[in-house]
Amino acid sequence: MHAFSDFDLFNPGEEYQMLRKTVRDFVAREVEPQAQEYDSKEEFNIGLLRKLGGLGLTGLTVPAQYGGAGMDATAVVIVHEELASSDPGFCLAYLAHTILCANNIAVNANPGQCKKYLPALCSADAIGAMAISEPGSGTDVLGMSCIAEKKSDHYIVNGRKMWITNGTIDDGKTPCDTLVLYALTKGSPDKKRVSTFIIEAGFEGFSVGQKITGKTGMRASNTAELCFDNCKVPLENLVDEEGESLTHMMRNLELERVALAAMSLGIARRSLEIMIKYADERKAFGRKIAEFGQIQRYIGQSYAEYRAARSYVYNTAREMKLDSAGQRLDSDGVKLFAARAGKTIADRAIQVLGGYGYVREYVVERLWRDAKLLEIGGGTIEAHQKNITRDLLKQTDKIINF
């Protein structure tokens, strides 16, 4: 049992309180004024990411020796909740850079690779991304076909990656500066295995296939197809050993799922705030609509679900270790629960606002559009249900002895 009498689950110490205040102030000053514009333009605000770099937040979990803040999963949740309450699309780009790329390298790469790549990622002078999904395989990671073939002093990579956040940093011509790539390498004797590589924008044969536009939501983050056409990768850019990617993925994807769940918290909180304010001001039949039972049901249910999701996400983050795997059960659980709660609460907000909820002025239509991706990206809700069931079958005491 934990003693919670003097413990704040959501801000467990002065450092976390200052972090939340810093990000919340930044959101009000810098993020909110640009959110609708960049959503409409379907563009990633690189300058805004670099301002976060100036605050030391784009290397949030990276050790200080490489230019990072050296913080933990609770800090990750705080930052993502606050950013997503204003601009989930931008927050997704931040996540791809900070968690999928920088944290990935910090946790899995060797000191030489960390020294080479992390300082520029921590300052956001270099923009980072991570590539797993392919045109023919999304959730089925082991179904990938991108292949890295070892030569005498380098690898040759061929294949395509799809749905890559930050894959391009402009109009679809320039790839990201630093990419963590997962590709197949030959095993022994004929078995294929997944290996991890660090790819630089200037590598020959590495290009953007297309920038993907017309997305329902998350329009303020760039999504791209990446192409590898006899891409030459130095041997020293292999992370760890061949075939170790599954460990790398689990260490990083577990944190990613907690961060995505935190994004859902931000969406839920903002949607709840908007519906409460509107219900208190809007009148129908001579009464505030907050006095009507159906509106009260929407608000009450949303508040309870937000609070439940928030406690689950922060408690999972509190127990998470960044440098180890084996925390899949609850990292899947929080994303499964929070993603659905975020989308449902945004949907209720639109319903409470009626026609006003359906237009951009009141923000909730954008939050609702953005929320949908969180049921798909970083693992579908169906994949989480499968993983949770499999893990519980192996850990029956997880429920019995809780």
Across the range 258-271, mean pLDDT stands at 98
Close Cβ partners of 109 (under 8 Å, ≥ 6 residues apart): 117, 198, 239, 240
The answer to whether 38 and 87 are in contact (CB under 8 A) is yes
Q: Which two tokens stand for residue 180?
A: 């963590």
Q: How many angstroms separate the Cα of 114 from the Cα of each of 50, 102, 107, 124, 189?
A: 20, 9, 9, 15, 32
Q: Would you call 8 helix, strand, or coil by DSSP?
A: coil
Q: Select the CATH number that applies to the domain covering 129-244 from these four: 2.40.110.10, 3.40.640.10, 2.60.40.1930, 1.20.1250.20.
A: 2.40.110.10
CA distance 186 to 195: 10
Phi/psi of residue 13, each to 5°?
Answer: 135, 160
188 pLDDT tier (thresholds 50, 70, 90): very low
Q: What percent of the chain has pLDDT over 90?
A: 83
The answer to whether 292 and 318 are in contact (CB under 8 A) is no
CATH of domain 246-400: 1.20.140.10
CA distance 198 to 179: 6
Residue 382 has pLDDT above 70, yes or no: yes
Residue 193 has pLDDT above 80, yes or no: yes
> Same fold for the domain at 129-244 and the one at 246-400?
no
pLDDT of residue 3: 43
Secondary structure E strands in 68-141: 128-131
Q: Which two tokens stand for residue 337?
A: 């629960």
213 pLDDT tier (thresholds 50, 70, 90): very high
CATH of domain 14-127: 1.10.540.10
Q: Would you say how long the chain is, in residues? A: 402
Q: Summarize pLDDT for 57-104 with one digit per residue, the tens.
A: 999 999 999 999 999 999 999 999 999 999 999 999 999 999 999 999
Residue 250 has pLDDT above 60, yes or no: yes
The answer to whether 247 and 325 are in contact (CB under 8 A) is yes
CA distance 321 to 118: 20
- State which amino acid sits at residue 325: A
Domain limits, the chain: 14-127, 129-244, 246-400
The pTM (predicted TM-score) of the whole model is 0.94
Percent helix / strand / coil, the chain, rounded to 5:
55, 15, 30
Q: Which residues are catalytic?
A: 256
Q: Which two tokens stand for residue 359?
A: 């237009």
